């Protein structure tokens, strides 16, 4: 798989990162057993800017490298994927080792809000930033701001989030 990061090719570094995560999640959901990113390093400008690192410099990772490490860490051992999500959202529910579950989702066309039927969540964005716990009623995380037994998250177009229920501390 591969996708470029160059504005000259109609993309961006953030777009490349999001597409990488989506490709791996969709591949897992389609039961593809072996997936690999086309190139570690860029091979030139424009459509040849498709590596995980700028040029050939391991000290200059792109956002796609963060997305790659995030999908590998968050979905390690995931199995039994099933489509999940309300209208306007693409999402997949995975069973995780130890019996838990994890949902990976993104908005299709425009930002939307999604309600999760749990009082506490662990949320990780495409680049690996962890928000834990996100609690029911917390005005900094629960977008409806109400204590109602669920957490509402804002979901953005083409920007995957990894969401898992967790016990409230």
Determine the pLDDT at residue 158. Answer: 87
Determine the pLDDT at residue 117. Answer: 96
Please check the confidence at residue 36 and state whether its pLDDT lies above 90. Answer: yes
**DSSP string computed for the chain:** ------GGGT--HHHHHHHHHHHHHHHHHTT------S-SB--SSGGG--SSBSTT-TTSB-HHHHHHHHHHHHTTT-EEEEE---TTEEEEEEE-TTS-EEEEEEESSS-EEEEES-SEEEEEETT--EEEEEETT-TTT-TT---SS-EEEEE-BT--EEEEE----
Residue 134's pLDDT band, with cuts at 50, 70 and 90, is very high
Across the chain, mean pLDDT equals: 95
Q: What is the mean pLDDT of residues 159-168?
A: 96
Residue 44's pLDDT band, with cuts at 50, 70 and 90, is confident
Please check the confidence at residue 31 and state whether its pLDDT lies above 90. Answer: yes
Question: Residue 70 phi/psi, 5° resolution?
Answer: -65, -50
Q: Is the pTM of this model over 0.85?
A: yes
Q: What is the mean pLDDT of residues 3-18?
A: 95
Please check the confidence at residue 137 and state whether its pLDDT lies above 90. Answer: yes
Q: What is the mean pLDDT of residues 117-136?
A: 97
Q: What is the mean pLDDT of residues 122-127?
A: 98
Report pLDDT digits (tens) over 61-79. 999 999 999 999 999 999 9
Report pLDDT digits (tens) over 87-113. 999 999 999 999 999 999 999 999 999
């Amino acid at each position: 798989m591969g996708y470029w990061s160059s504005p000259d090719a109609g993309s961006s570094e953030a777009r490349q990162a999001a597409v990488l995560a989506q490709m791996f999640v969709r591949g897992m959901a389609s039961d593809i057993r072996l997936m690999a990113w086309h190139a570690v390093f860029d091979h030139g400008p424009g459509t040849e800017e498709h590596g995980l690192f700028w040029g050939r410099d391991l000290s200059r990772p792109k956002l796609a490298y963060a997305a790659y490490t995030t999908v590998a860490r968050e979905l390690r051992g995931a199995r039994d994927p099933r489509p999940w999500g309300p209208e306007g959202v693409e999402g997949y529910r995975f069973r995780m080792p130890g019996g838990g579950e994890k949902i990976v989702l993104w908005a299709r066309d425009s930002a939307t809000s999604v309600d999760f039927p749990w009082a506490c969540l662990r949320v990780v964005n495409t680049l690996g930033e962890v928000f834990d716990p996100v609690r029911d009623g917390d005005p900094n995380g629960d977008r409806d701001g109400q204590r109602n037994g669920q957490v509402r998250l804002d979901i953005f177009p083409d920007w995957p989030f990894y969401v898992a229920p967790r016990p409230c501390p």
